[in-house]
Structure 1
Amino acid sequence: MSDGSDNQPTPAYKRVLLKISGEALMGDQGFGLHPPTVERIAKEVKIVRDLGVEICMVIGGGNIFRGLQGSAQGMERTTADYMGMLATVMNALAMQSALEGLGVFTRVVSAIPMDQVCEPYIRRRAVRHLEKGRVVIFAAGTGNPYFTTDTAATLRASEMTCEAILKGTKVDGVYDMDPVKHPEAKRYDDITYDDVLVKNLKVMDASAIALARDNDLPIIVFSLDEPGGFKGILSGQGTYTIVHG
């Protein structure tokens, strides 16, 4: 935390979970990982970590494999979902490499044990990593098929007693319709969990929203493409939507 002597604003939250999609790591490519984009996001995380904020992350796997699409093409759903979980591990390792290249101690913690690659998920150990200032990247979703990384993010944020989920997206908040297709779309400054569910707004899937509501966990949606956006949100600046009770 800043002591004010360097004119740094005190962050609004002490411990947060940053949720980003796998597609956020593609850059302008149509598939896979774009190393400069991964490094840019890592730098944003480092800036916030250096403010004294404890950060954990969940990264989707859609840039490599998406379980739902696999099952739609005839693959058995649970197999497709496990493949998607493995894709999230690949993304987590890439982000860990980028963060550690910047001098940020990072742990990848997987819901599916793979000891040669990363740590198994043990809640108390993960909390201890956060307390020591390490960035913790939760991989492999919840470890169960039929659950998205949105649900995994809400679950882990609740278990880690995070104060908020920050969802970095391509747009600067929640809109009443797709702002890319509809320039007249209206952005919400804040909206309730129930309104998100009733209006079927594509913030997170319904089970993730319901879990956040039950645990009174605010979700802040902001643009990850905006330089300094992650730090700005924690400083109460920038454009975003907050989903709350």
Structure 2
Amino acid sequence: MKYKRILLKLSGEALMGDKQYGIDSDRVLQYAKDIKAVFDTGIEIAVVIGGGNIFRGLSAEKAGMDRVQADYMGMLATVINSMALQDALEKLDIKTRLMTAIKMEQICEPFIRRRAVRHLEKRRIVIFGAGTGNPYFTTDTCASLRAIEVNADVVLKGTRVDGIYTADPEKDPTATKFDEITFQEVYEKGLNVMDKTAFTLCQENNLPIIVFDMNKPGNFMRISQGEAIGTLVRG
């Protein structure tokens, strides 16, 4: 396998499946099965999930809600999604640990870097919830930060699009896909891969990002084996 330790970033919207909001149990189970297949090869896996299928802080702010309050509500949404994935993984007999940046002792552990690394070394999938624990930071930033903290080899951003394009392929049929691109080229072309804070963290720490279609079963395994699918962003 190409990687020893992976940070998988999933969007909250992806958990909706074909629904308008909430969690599609079939989609969560599909993700869990894909994750288990890679985990069974010996790769250590950490996961960060967004909360946009339940609540989006930015949307609430536009509707008049205080931004800080809205962001904390969004963090709680990520915990709900994390618990759903944890349940699906444990139904497949995988040991997991849910760690959050906000203390919730009854349902999860507080994030402690050394403990997170130890869980990974002891063959547990670690799910990081509640973002960074701070307003104004996205779950993309959480994914980049946690990947750096636990010394992951790569950030795999699973989306519903099969890579990075010159424009939104769902809106522009002429958009072309990049197989590989540098951090600097992303800046120069004004492409939207992650928010700038998350992206800069990866660039400064020379942490590669791969954007790929997580909704296609088997893609996660193919990337883990080193196949060139999706788009690789490197230094």
TM-score range, shorter chain: over 0.9
- Show the counterpart of 2:184: 194
Once the two structures are superposed, residues 105-147 of structure 1 have per-residue CA deviations (whole angstroms, 9 ceiling, x without a partner) of 0111000001001000010000000001100000000000000
Residue of structure 1 in register with 2:164 after alignment: 174
Amino acid at match of 2:142: A
Structure 2 residue aligned with 1:88: 78
Name stretches of at least 5 consecutive residues in structure 1 with no aligned partner: 1-10
- 1:220 paired to 2:205: no
Task: Please give the alpha-carbon distance, in whole angstroms, between the structure 1 residues aligned to 2:157 and 2:76.
Answer: 21
Distance, in Å, in 2 between the alignment partners of 1:108 and 1:197 is 34
* Distance in 1, Cα, partners of 2:209 & 2:229: 14
1:7-18, aligned counterparts within 5 Å? 11-18=1-8
1:83-122 mapped onto 2 (5 Å cutoff): 83-122=73-112
1:125 corresponding residue in structure 2: 115
The two structures have a TM-score, normalised by structure 1, of 0.95
Q: What is the CA-CA distance between 1:238 and the residue it aligns to?
A: 5.5
Instruction: Give per-residue Cα distances to partners, 1:188-239, cap 9 Å, x unaligned.
Output: 0111112222322121001111000010000001101111000001112252
Residue segments in structure 2 that go unaligned for 5+ positions in a row: none
Question: Contact 1:197–1:206 at 8 Å: present in 2 too?
Answer: no
Say which of 11, 16, 34 aligns to 1:26.
Answer: 16
1:3 — aligned with what? Answer: none
Q: CA distance change for structure 1 residues 238 and 244 in 2, over 3 Å: closer, same or farther?
A: closer
Query: Counterpart of 1:55?
Result: 45
Structure 1 stretches of at least 4 aligned residues deviating more than 4 Å after TM superposition: none
SS of corresponding position for 2:84: helix
Q: Which residue matches 2:146?
A: 156
C-alpha deviation, 1:46, in angstroms = 0.3
Aligned residue pair count: 235
Provide the TM-score with structure 2 as the length reference. 0.99
Name the CA distance, whole Å, in 2 between partners of 1:66 and 1:194: 29
